Amino acid sequence: MPADLSPIDRAKYAASRRAVDFVEDGMRVGLGTGSTAAWMVRCLAERVKAEGLTLQCVPTSTRTAELGRELGLNIVTLEEAGWLDLTIDGADEFDPELSLVKGGGGALLQEKIVATASDRMIVITDAAKEVKTLGAFPLPVEVIPFGWQATRTLIAELIGGSDVDGHEITLRMNGDQPFRTDENNYILDLHLGRIGNPRELSLLLNQIAGVVENGLFLDICDTVIVGYGDGRVELHDMATRTPGTEPVPGNVFTDGDL
């Protein structure tokens, strides 16, 4: 492990290192997308190499698939794996009910499909992602390119009558072109500030013609692992509803870990 990591990267590494402890030999594992999930993929590859684990790993994006193959993981499709034992992914926000906002990395559709095809979902994050109420992070909504302006108008009408604080909608860009997901769709980011009723909003969004999926992950996450810059981790589990902090492992930040 490099010694010059930022506190945020050290926190992401600590959470990732703890999360891969839940992986057992023979499992079918979903691999998330994003900067935190990339640390997890590296930590998992280390375990596979050190312990000779036999796994089937299903990525949630082409980026994760490429990284996993590069590190020697057995990358398969969801169709090949069938059903998954565990998915480990990051999140942009989580609340006390372990409801999530995801999609900052642009892979929310595959992430939701993989997570809901798993017996368990573990989320890895840093303390800055914990909120009392979802909505501070813009809510991503994946839409098909055809007629996306009309879809945006319908979404604007919906959120205009919803229990939210903001109403701005922006088309996610990649330079001077719209950002494209792995499915070649667009993403609209909803700057809501606060989402008073996530369940209702999620249901109504997905009823709009042109909406493929939204970034609200409700009743999907089982455990959130929060990492800290000093190597501590805090586990929030739906089964116990009581967060527990674990001590710093003695060698979590020693050089050569990765």
- Write out the binding residues: 33-36, 89-92, 102-105, 129
Q: Is 212 exposed, middle or buried (0-12, 13-18, 19+ CB in 10 A)?
A: middle
The DSSP element (H or E) to which 113 belongs, if any, is: helix 108-116
Catalytic residue ranges: 111
Distance CA 59, CA 51 (A): 21
The Cα-based distances of 117 to 81, 87, 112, 158 in angstroms read 10, 9, 8, 29
Query: What is the three-class DSSP state of 160?
Result: helix
Place of tokens 């490429």: 66
Show the tokens assigned to 19.
């999360």
